[in-house]
Chains A and B, each alone.
Chain A
Amino acid sequence: MLFRLLLVLVSVLSLAAPARAQSNTVILSTTTSTQDSGLLDLLVPMFEKKTGMTVKTISVGTGQALALAARGEADVALVHAPSVERKYVEEGKMRNRRLVMYNDFVIIGPEDDPAKIKGMTKATDALKRIAETQSRFVSRGDKSGTHVLEQGLWKQASVEPRGSWYIESGQGMGQTLGIANDRRAYTITDRGSWLAFQKRISLPILVEKDKPLLNIYSVMEINPANGPRVNTAGGKAFADFMVAPETQAVIKIFGVDKYGQPLFVPIAGKTDADFQ
């Protein structure tokens, strides 16, 4: 009886732990938005087929994605918080930062627009108005790229968001959109998530197309000095893949079939200066 149990156990265990050469594995730390949009489900298999490597995509907030990479727990990072990224590059934790694509953030809110921000051209003015009228606003509050951008905007607007009108969800974009919808509140979201949630939320876009609302994604390689076992070659291969012309061509049309418009604009080869 005991022997039979052990036999079953060993066979099940050997199933659960398939032997796989780890040096052939690339750990990609990235943000929830790239994963949720479905873009990586398309690109990762392309990369795996091309190189024969296996990608482990760990999709978390940008803050955590960069922190993991800085500890050498990932091999390549695909994130969207330029100010934080530059800091990591300066510190030598990350290197070879290259722009990959952008989409944009939009400020959405209830139809009746209590703060009267509809059509304003400057995002910072809109936020000032929301704070002045103490209209409900839902923040991600999770150090994600979206949260970092939002905090930057508040800073530019010289407003310290605080009070019962300012709600921190601490969750991903999807859940945050749900909360904003239920509480009839304003929030900042990337356009892709807003499009993906059209069926579930009824908050129209009120402010868009302001320069600071650009959402730029870059790919960075990890300094091997960050920790043992960093797969430098694998990380570089994935970074190169993200800016390669054929990948950029896929990004250019991604989302057209589902939303009638592309979700990202490929920008490989450009620099931050092009978007100032």
Chain B
Amino acid sequence: MELIGQGLLQALRLLVSGDPEVWQITWLSLRISSTATLLSLIVGVPLGTALALAHFPGRGFVVSLVNTGMGLPPVVVGLFVTIVLWRNGILGMLELLYTPTAMVLAQLVIAAPVVTGLTLAAVQQVPDKFRLQVLALGASRAQMIWTLLKEARLPMLAAIMAGFGAVISEVGASLMVGGNIKGSTRVLTTATVLETGKGNFDTAIALSLILLFLMFLVNWALTWIQQGRRV
């Protein structure tokens, strides 16, 4: 318990003193994970909507695949993305390994199925009758989908929170594809692992608390959007 108290003090000290490395690490975590979440929305929302509305043979199989993908182990993603990005790998010529871009890519692979799966569920929970009614009122198909997504916006924001939460808190993939390089690819989670390995438990706890606080702030903002528009 005493250690956690020390960690809390250390966290406050690091933040208040404006320790440039801690701020840089925090900012990088936020930047990488928000980019990955935004990209996963671009992939996941259309895919999830399409899956929710389409009927085709093998749909159940594809939905099962997406649902499995929602729990993709980050280390597995990290390993495969690393191999693809190796200098000898398929995308080796891009020389992306050990860069923030590689981390965005790995996190995108982790977040996209989460967003797709939750979008699918969100769109499906809107009653069929609602959809038919919108169409009956003369809406085009595009207008119908837009109305549907607007109707499903509460669970959709939950999808964003879940996607962001999954990537900002993951460590396995970031460590592998980023390499935990000081000043370049070190984020809150990988820095926590490093500080624990060094035996600097108070700094590790401080970084964990900063991560939790950051996640709270982002979720608070998203919740505000989610609940605020309701009234």
* Interface positions of A (Cβ within 8 A of B): 5, 8-9, 12-13, 15-18, 22, 27, 32, 35-36, 41, 44, 56-59, 71-73, 172-175, 177, 196-197, 199-200, 227-230
- Measured CA separation A72–B97 after assembly (Å): 13
Q: Are the C-beta atoms of A174 and B35 separated by less than 8 Å?
A: no
- Enumerate chain A residues within 8 angstroms of B87, measured Cβ to Cβ: 72-73, 227-230
Contact code string B29-46 (vs A, CB < 8 Å = 1, else 0) = 001101100110010000
- Measured CA separation A25–B35 after assembly (Å): 25
- Enumerate chain A residues within 8 angstroms of B197, measured Cβ to Cβ: 32, 36, 172-175
- Enumerate chain B residues within 8 angstroms of A227, measured Cβ to Cβ: 87-88
- Measured CA separation A57–B194 after assembly (Å): 13
- Enumerate chain B residues within 8 angstroms of A59, measured Cβ to Cβ: 180
Q: Chain B's nearest CB lies how many Å from the CB of A165?
A: 25
Q: Chain B's nearest CB lies how many Å from the CB of A32?
A: 7
- Known A22-B95, A227-B87, A227-B88; judge A13-B35 contact (CB<8 A): yes
Given A12-B31, A174-B198, 20 more A-B residue pairs with CB atoms under 8 Å apart are: A9-B42, A12-B38, A16-B31, A16-B100, A17-B99, A17-B100, A35-B194, A36-B197, A44-B182, A56-B181, A57-B181, A73-B86, A73-B97, A172-B197, A174-B196, A175-B196, A196-B198, A200-B199, A200-B201, A229-B95
**Which 5 residue pairs are nearest across A and B when measured between Cβ atoms?**
A174-B197, A17-B101, A22-B95, A229-B87, A58-B179
Q: Are the C-beta atoms of A12 and B88 separated by less than 8 Å?
A: no
- Measured CA separation A174–B93 after assembly (Å): 36
B98 close to chain A: CB less than 8 A:
yes
- Measured CA separation A12–B95 after assembly (Å): 20
How many of chain B's residues touch chain A, expressed as a range?
Answer: 20 to 34
- Known A9-B42, A17-B101; judge A72-B196 contact (CB<8 A): no
- Known A16-B104, A73-B86, A228-B87; judge A199-B98 contact (CB<8 A): no
Among A16, A22, A199, contact of B199 (Cβ-Cβ < 8 Å): A199
B5 close to chain A: CB less than 8 A:
no
- Enumerate chain B residues within 8 angstroms of A197, measured Cβ to Cβ: 199
- Measured CA separation A32–B34 after assembly (Å): 30
- Measured CA separation A17–B94 after assembly (Å): 12
Q: Chain B's nearest CB lies how many Å from the CB of A201?
A: 9
- Measured CA separation A200–B35 after assembly (Å): 39
Q: Are the C-beta atoms of A12 and B92 separated by less than 8 Å?
A: no
- Known A12-B38, A27-B98; judge A41-B88 contact (CB<8 A): no
Q: Chain A's nearest CB lies how many Å from the CB of B11?
A: 19
- Measured CA separation A228–B93 after assembly (Å): 9
- Measured CA separation A22–B42 after assembly (Å): 29
Query: 8 Å CB contacts to A: which residues of B4-36?
Result: 31-32, 34-35
Which residue of the partner chain B has the closest CB to A176? Answer: B197
Q: Are the C-beta atoms of B88 and A196 separated by less than 8 Å?
A: no
- Measured CA separation A73–B92 after assembly (Å): 10
Among A32, A44, A56, A172, contact of B179 (Cβ-Cβ < 8 Å): A56
- Enumerate chain B residues within 8 angstroms of A35, measured Cβ to Cβ: 194
- Measured CA separation A93–B100 after assembly (Å): 29
Which residue of the partner chain B has the closest CB to A57? Answer: B181
Among A56, A175, A177, A230, contact of B184 (Cβ-Cβ < 8 Å): A56
Q: Are the C-beta atoms of A16 and B32 separated by less than 8 Å?
A: yes
Which residue of the partner chain A has the closest CB to B96? Answer: A17
- Enumerate chain B residues within 8 angstroms of A13, measured Cβ to Cβ: 35, 104
Q: Chain B's nearest CB lies how many Å from the CB of A158?
A: 33
Q: Are the C-beta atoms of B38 and A8 separated by less than 8 Å?
A: yes
Q: Are the C-beta atoms of A41 and B86 separated by less than 8 Å?
A: no
Q: Chain B's nearest CB lies how many Å from the CB of A21?
A: 10
- Measured CA separation A228–B97 after assembly (Å): 14
Offer 21 A-B interface pairs, CB within 8 angstroms, sorted by A. Answer: A5-B38, A8-B38, A9-B35, A9-B38, A9-B39, A12-B34, A13-B35, A22-B95, A27-B98, A44-B182, A56-B98, A58-B179, A58-B181, A72-B87, A73-B87, A174-B198, A177-B199, A197-B199, A199-B199, A229-B87, A229-B92
Which residue of the partner chain B has the closest CB to A36? Answer: B198
Which residue of the partner chain A has the closest CB to B85? Answer: A73
Q: Are the C-beta atoms of B38 and A15 separated by less than 8 Å?
A: no
Q: Chain A's nearest CB lies how many Å from the CB of B168?
A: 14
Query: 8 Å CB contacts to A: which residues of B80-134?
Result: 86-88, 92-93, 95, 97-101, 104
